[in-house]
Amino acid sequence: LAQALVGRAFAEPLVGAVVAHAGVENGPSRKVLEKCGFACIGRDDESGSDRFLLTRDQGGSGRGGCSPK
């Protein structure tokens, strides 16, 4: 489902990136995002969740700087 949503987003020519959030301790959601190629780009100060980014150009490296607590 996640890959289908990303594919749908990138089917739109004006979409250059998709951002997702996952709880720091939500391992299953983090794994889904990483499998889809999202890279963890940092912690959201307001929600405390980690932010993940996938850009159209990136092609999904799955690398990033966040690690679960």
Q: How far apart are the first and last CA of the chain?
A: 27
Backbone φ, ψ for residue 7 (5° rounding): -60, -40
User: Residue 59's pLDDT is what?
Assistant: 58
The model carries a pTM of 0.79
Given pLDDT bands bounded at 50, 70 and 90, which one contains residue 28? Answer: very high
Nearest to 50 by CA among 15, 11, 31, 61: 31
pLDDT at position 66 is 57
- In this predicted structure, the answer to whether residue 69 has a pLDDT above a threshold of 50 is no
